[in-house]
Amino acid sequence: MRAYDVVIIGSGIAGGFLARHLRRTLPDLSVLVLEAAETIEDYKVGESTVEVAASYMIRRLDLGTYLYQHQLPKNGLRFFFDSPGKDLPLQRMSEIGSDHLPYHPSFQLERAKLERDLVTMNRADGADVQLGAKVVDLRIDGAGSHTVTYEQAGARHEITCRWLCDASGRRHVLLRKLGKKVHKETRLNTAAAWARYRGVAGLDAVRDDAWRNRVRYTARHLSTNHLMYDGYWIWFIPLAGDLMSVGVVYDKDRLAALGTPAPRNRADFERFLDGHRAVRDLLSQPARADMEDFQAYAHLPYHADLYFSTDRIAVTGEAGAFTDPFYSPGSDFIATANEFIVSMISSEIAGERSAFEEKVAAYDAYYRFKYESTLLLYARMYPIFGSFELYRLKYLLDFNNYYNLVLWPFVAGRVTDVAWLREELRLTDYVLRALSTMGDHFSTLAADLHRRGEYFACNEGQWANGLNGVSQLQRRITPNFDGTFRRDQIDRAYGSVSAALLERQIGATGLSNRAPLVSELSLREILRIKEFSPEAVANLSRRIGDKLTQKLRQDLPTAGITGVHLDLASPSPIIQGPAEDSDEHARAHARAQALWDTPADSLAHVVL
């Protein structure tokens, strides 16, 4: 019976990347990859990557040259917003995007080609990759060797291994064998349908010079393009070789509440897409595009009871958990899991038992936290997706948090550092409450804008450069980790967005860029404000007024100032103490007004 150090079930990008990672990090280990498919030909969803996955592919897997030669570079995430009647042409839809390629790269992957190429590359690196090898039985022995039985070309084979890693996707081969439950997520009830098309001219074929010039003629085509609607979004993702991936992800509960039929099968999918003018235009000009295939998932998010174990077993990719494809996090989860797995194997093989056990505990806890925090980005948020002004603020906050809290630690190599992870895990409840609280604020304002008839107010003709919100972070994200700067930026992002949400709720134009307000809305303070009720707004006004009073007394100690009354909905503070017609009152009022008018350099302050 042949023995291996590591057996990987599945040769998709999760398993293929893991095999390459292992061979390049621990070249003395023997690695066997068992792939059930005899040929790798099927198109797969999950083509869009973001910065963590790109960093992993370039820095850890040395795939940079390959990606630029054989896949497509990605021009960031891009979002378009439509009218209530879904009848705007693309160039009139409000847009969040960029006018240059992002500083940190990412890619659009034609998955079947990449996975075929990984088989060739991994074999060349010394991994044993077997196609048409279906795993039919597993025996897990945490004290000895695991046994794997697989069938190939009508013959049954049995091998042993020290480590067993499951990258089998939604088949969950290892978890099912162990009897570990895979939980259908109930807090986010989303589904998806998608197809690949040939002959889609793409977004850059739109003949409108002003629209093209707005992004300085950079390629919108190369972006992951989201067409945004209340309860769902439609993606257009280009792939190498004249392919366009087009899909719909929808909140089943929200569509049901709106009375919108869900696109569950191919005919429904085509009818659904045809109900949107911009989509019709993209798929029919200059000629009708040809559909290559159609697939669907009836439910998207799930999580498992086990990810990593001291029994020398691990799962990666969709074999363990999946949240939602909106921000393309799937390959980020793969990168994180694979970093954990290789780090655990390194310690265990080296006989570092204590370090190995510490890593398993920390990595498993962090992976669960990563699932929870990612899920909260989407749970209850689909009803805000159709409003440009609401989603612009959510994206600003989410993009900042991703660069600051997710990408930077990964680039700096902190994600496998057990001591660092323990410190991060101490803040788990704090972070999850922050995400939930902001979700409450967004949901409340979305419902309020619907009631006012203002949900779609900014959905035509507006433009926001999505990269502006992270311009202060882009060049700072290096292996040099600056904890103080990171904390300051967290407060700045939360304060900027919270002030903008408050401004919209109470109708006080310009409020979102007042420094006394933005600085007051630190993350810690936001967690205390469950809703922007009249009482909460009055308390906030009083606290800011008290701080202005202290400052005025320092600046004008002889003016007799007893207080500053501030109403956030009013453009001017009221001075208490000096007689209204006195010089002291005039000076105090001018100084208080200057303090109140101090610009915050808010990330969210834009003129629409």
Q: Hey, how many other C-beta atoms are within 10 angstroms of the C-beta on 207?
A: 8
Helix, strand or coil for residue 503?
Answer: helix
- pLDDT tens digits, residue range 256-267? 999 999 999 999
Mean pLDDT value across residues 418-425: 96
> Domain residue spans in the chain?
2-71+109-184+303-349, 77-104+189-297, 541-596
Q: Do domains 2-71+109-184+303-349 and 77-104+189-297 have the same CATH topology?
A: no
- pLDDT tens digits, residue range 579-594? 999 999 999 999 999 9
Q: Hey, how many other C-beta atoms are within 10 angstroms of the C-beta on 452?
A: 10
Phi-psi region of 59 (alpha: psi -120 to 50; beta: other; left: phi over 0): alpha
Tell which residue, 562, 565, 511, has the closest CA to residue 538. Answer: 565
What's the chain's average pLDDT?
A: 95
- pLDDT tens digits, residue range 539-551? 999 999 999 999 9
Residue 91 and residue 80 in contact, taking contact as beta carbons nearer than 8 Å: no
Output the DSSP codes for 206-263.
---HHHHHHTTT--GGGSEEEEEETTEEEEEEEETTTEEEEEEEEEHHHHHHHTPPP-
Q: What is the pLDDT of residue 607?
A: 46
- pLDDT tens digits, residue range 464-505? 999 988 999 999 999 999 989 999 999 999 999 999 999 999
Mean pLDDT value across residues 240-259: 96
Q: What is the pLDDT of residue 491?
A: 94
Tell which residue, 608, 464, 462, has the closest CA to residue 93. Answer: 462
Which helix (H) or strand (E) segment holds residue 19: the answer is helix 13-25
| Positive/negative CA dihedral, 361, 167, 72, 301 | negative
DSSP category for residue 58: I
- Amino acid at residue number 40: I
- pLDDT tens digits, residue range 362-410? 999 999 999 999 999 999 999 999 999 999 999 999 999 999 999 999 9
pTM beyond 0.85: the answer is yes
Residue 226 and residue 395 in contact, taking contact as beta carbons nearer than 8 Å: no
Largest CA distance in the chain: 99
Mean pLDDT value across residues 16-39: 98
Fold for 2-71+109-184+303-349, please state it.
FAD/NAD(P)-binding domain (3.50.50)
Residue 226 and residue 80 in contact, taking contact as beta carbons nearer than 8 Å: yes
Determine the CATH number of domain 77-104+189-297: 3.30.9.100
Which of the four pLDDT bands, split at 50, 70 and 90, describes residue 608?
very low
- Amino acid at residue number 519: S
Q: What is the pLDDT of residue 530?
A: 85
Mean pLDDT value across residues 37-62: 94
Question: Both tokens of residue 458?
Answer: 């900014």
- pLDDT tens digits, residue range 324-348? 999 999 999 999 999 999 999 999 9
Mention every residue, 6+ apart, whose C-beta is less than 8 A from residue 229. 82, 86, 385, 386
Q: What is the pLDDT of residue 44?
A: 84
Q: What is the pLDDT of residue 606?
A: 60
Residue 42 has pLDDT above 90, yes or no: no
Tell which residue, 270, 281, 258, 133, has the closest CA to residue 201. Answer: 281
Residue 331 and residue 181 in contact, taking contact as beta carbons nearer than 8 Å: no
Mean pLDDT value across residues 546-566: 93
- pLDDT tens digits, residue range 59-86? 999 999 999 999 999 999 999 999 999 9
Please give the share of the chain, as a percent, with pLDDT higher than 70: 100
